[in-house]
């Protein structure tokens, strides 16, 4: 990766890491990996921050697998329904969540879905480190609000149900490979759950 020449940088629109990853519906780690492999034009600012070509981001976005995009959008929709429909409020463990914890939970859910979509789109890569990290983040949240391991698993299971409902929606839309999608999504979520429980067990 090289620093973009001044003329090129001036004549090209560049995006920061978070914005580029958001537009592509991918995890930031995936975008870094693509940049390192030369799949997208990028350079570093004098301060060391990555910038990504907006035209490349737009072109890659047009090629995004429709099934994965649908999965991401469907999950967000189902999560909103669960929140506005009172499903979360009916869970006893949710009463421990103050407003700050609820925000952390929402951010975690978005990050988890971005990582899941990235994993499903590039399964040949080893995602174990990222899965471990997000599992630990779920454990940290559970510990901070005082959840038992059992309640932490119940909370994660509710989100897993939301993801599975989204996978069913993808299947109903006749997106190819839906059966494999369900299997791979289930394996991914189980690995994150295991990482969460292991982290909570160590704390105990």
Q: Report the half-sphere exposure of 38 (CA within 13 A, side-chain side).
A: 1
CATH of the domain at 12: 1.10.1660.10
One domain for residues 49 and 78: no
Tally of structural domains, the chain: 2
Domain final residue, candidates 62, 81, 101: 62
DSSP assignment of 182-202 equals HHHHHHHHHHHHHHHHHHHHH
One domain, residues 70 and 99: yes
Same domain, 29 and 82: no
| Predicted pLDDT at 3 | 43
Q: pLDDT per position in the chain (204 positions), as tens?
A: 444 444 344 456 899 988 888 877 677 777 787 788 777 888 888 888 889 888 888 777 655 554 555 565 656 655 555 555 566 777 888 888 899 998 888 888 878 887 887 787 777 888 899 999 999 999 999 999 999 999 999 989 888 887 777 776 666 554 455 567 778 888 999 999 999 999 999 855
> Are residues 29 and 123 both part of a single domain?
no
Pair (78, 55) in one structural domain: no
| Residues 81, 154 share a domain | yes
By residue range, what is the domain housing residue 35?
Answer: 6-62
Query: Do 111 and 95 share a structural domain?
Result: yes
d(CA 95, CA 76): 22
Q: Which residues contact 158 (CB under 8 A, 6 or more apart)?
A: 82, 87, 88, 91
């Amino acid at each position: 990766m090289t620093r973009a020449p001044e003329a090129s940088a001036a004549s090209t629109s560049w995006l920061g890491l978070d914005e580029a990853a958001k537009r592509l519906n991918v995890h930031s780690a995936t975008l870094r990996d693509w940049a390192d492999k030369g799949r997208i034009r990028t350079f570093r600012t004098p301060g060391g921050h990555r910038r990504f070509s907006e035209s490349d981001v737009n072109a890659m976005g047009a090629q995004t697998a429709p099934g994965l995009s649908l999965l991401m959008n469907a999950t967000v929709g189902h999560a909103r329904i669960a929140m506005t429909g009172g499903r979360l409020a009916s869970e006893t463990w949710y009463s421990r969540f103050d407003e700050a914890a609820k925000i952390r939970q929402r951010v975690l859910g978005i990050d988890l879905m971005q990582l899941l979509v990235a994993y499903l789109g590039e399964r040949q890569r080893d995602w174990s480190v990222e899965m471990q990290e997000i599992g630990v983040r779920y454990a940290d949240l559970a510990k901070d609000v005082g959840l038992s391991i059992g309640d932490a698993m119940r909370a994660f299971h509710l989100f897993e149900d939301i993801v599975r409902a989204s996978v069913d929606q993808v299947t109903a839309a006749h997106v190819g490979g839906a059966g494999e999608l369900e299997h791979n999504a289930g394996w991914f979520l189980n690995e994150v759950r295991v990482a969460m429980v292991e982290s909570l067990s160590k704390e105990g």
